[in-house]
Structure 1
Amino acid sequence: MYGQRTIECLSSGKWDNPYPKCGEATCSLNTTVEDLKMEQFPDIEGPVKHGYKLRFSCYGQGLILKGQREITCQPNGEWSSPFPKCEGKCERPPQVDFADTTEVTKPEYNSGERVEYICFNKYTLVQHHPYSKYLTCEQGEWRGNIKCLKPCSVTVEEMDKRGIELRWRPREKIFSTHGDRIIFACQWGKDLIGSIPLIQSCNDGVMNLPRSNM
């Protein structure tokens, strides 16, 4: 049936919609899916009737067909499955905390392409599983994990508050990368108190500071 199944007589004496018509059910060929190649067999002329089949593929490299590769027009005028989509291209790679890409990024990437990142100055790139320096485009999504460990900074004022100083370095603010070992000493005439030792390491932006008696 083509048209409204129910129509109403209006006060004007006219029907609100035309009479429906009955005809052979056909399937629509309308599709706006980009990069989708539609192969028709046999070659079609006129309405798509029951039993007609379509086969699909994707234009371009790096694209993957998502959905049924072949669909059939059914007696009710509906396709046996929705039209598939072509996926694979990724948009610009995402921003990563404390890092940037080593090259100027492109508007889009094909599946399988990867982008290299580098951490900001003094930040340390983690390169053991599950982290690396790459993100890879896979079927339209960026996959991978990138992590930059933060450096540590300790001011002269912070050391003075705890009665400590740098053992082998002049009186200055320190800025150390993750994993760096710093050796402190008690200021002249003071003794270490508490359980925090004088040798400390920077751990992702955190450094425990020892304390002496004031």
Structure 2
Amino acid sequence: EGPVKPGHNLTFSCNGQGLILKGQREITCQPNGEWSSPFPKCERKDIQMRTACGPPPHQENADTEEMPKNEYSYGEKVKYICYNKFTMEGYPYLTCYGHSPVFVCLNPCMVTVEEMDKRGIELKWGERQKIFSPHKDTISFACQKGKYLKDGTDLRQTCTNGVMLLPRCA
């Protein structure tokens, strides 16, 4: 009520159940006429408890796009990216609401030269080398010279989350 003189203090509290004082409980009028701290606010307890999140959770075969922080503000987003050759399926963002990310990083397929030799196959296009094929990628094989398709498996195969059926030629 009325002006406050320099040196006088104001003490605050919240009226009402489930409210928490956010800010300084006591502030002082300074000689220049300004307050020592901003006026505090009263917030509902459940909002106060949801104002920050810790570091983002570990996700298999993925990492955060930026260096993770120890604390995130309510509503702040973190973007995940899958490791090289892994394929993301789903939404790559985690928002500070306590939700879990809703994505998976699907495995690539690896086909070695030794595995192709065991099965009597080679790459239809390209050099004789080990290959990594991302999820949903299709590879065309051919039977090695003098060998013929044995088991009826298609010579074109698609990687499905790290699994690829390889044809056999004899």
TM range (shorter): 0.7 to 0.9
Task: Decide which of 81, 92, 107 is 1:118's aligned counterpart.
Answer: 81
The CA distance in 2 between the partners of 1:55 and 1:170, in whole Å, is 69
Provide the secondary structure at the position in 1 that maps to 2:136. Answer: coil
In structure 1, how many angstroms separate the alpha carbons of the residues matched to 2:84 and 2:44?
A: 39
Alignment CA distance shift 1:38-1:200 (3 Å)? farther
* Whole-angstrom CA distance in 2 between matches of 1:161 and 1:110: 55
The whole-number CA distance in structure 1 between the counterparts of 2:44 and 2:19 is 11
> How many residues were matched structurally?
140
1:64 positional shift = 5.9
In structure 1, C-alpha distance between the alignment counterparts of 2:103 and 2:17, rounded to whole Å: 43
Paired residue for 1:153? 110
Whether 2:56 is the aligned partner of 1:93: answer yes
User: Deviation per CA, 1:158-199, whole angstroms, max 9, x where unpaired?
Assistant: 011111111111211111111211100111111112232100
CA contact (8 A) 2:14 2:21 kept: no
The secondary structure found in structure 1 opposite 2:103 is: coil
C-alpha distance in 2, partners of 1:160/1:64?
Answer: 68
Q: 1:134 Cα deviation (Å)? A: 0.4
Q: Which runs of 5+ in 1 are unaligned?
A: 1-36, 41-52, 67-84
Give me the TM-score of the superposition, normalised by structure 2. Answer: 0.73
Partner SS state of residue 102, structure 2: coil
2:128 — aligned with what?
Answer: 171
Q: CA deviation at 1:91?
A: 0.5
- Structure in which a larger fraction of residues adopt helix: 2
Q: Kindly indicate whether the alpha-carbon contact (under 8 Å) linking 1:38 and 1:54 is maintained by their aligned counterparts in 2.
A: no
Q: Which amino acid aligns with 2:124?
A: R
TM-score by length of 1: 0.59
**Structure 2 unaligned regions, length at least 5:** 1-11, 24-40
Corresponding residue to 2:161 among 177, 180, 204: 204
3-state SS of 1:157 partner: helix
Separation in 1, partners of 2:168, 2:129: 18
User: 3-state SS of the aligned residue for 1:121?
Assistant: coil
1:65 aligns with 2:45: yes
Q: Choose between structure 1 and 2 for higher RCO, CA contacts under 8 A separated by at least 6 residues.
A: 2
1:49 is matched with none
For the pair shown, which has the larger CA radius of gyration, 1 or 2?
A: 1
Please say if 1:136 is aligned against 2:95. Answer: yes
3-state secondary structure, aligned to 1:146 = strand
Compute the RMSD of aligned alpha carbons.
2.4
> In 2, are the aligned partners of 1:38 and 1:55 still within 8 Å (CA)?
no
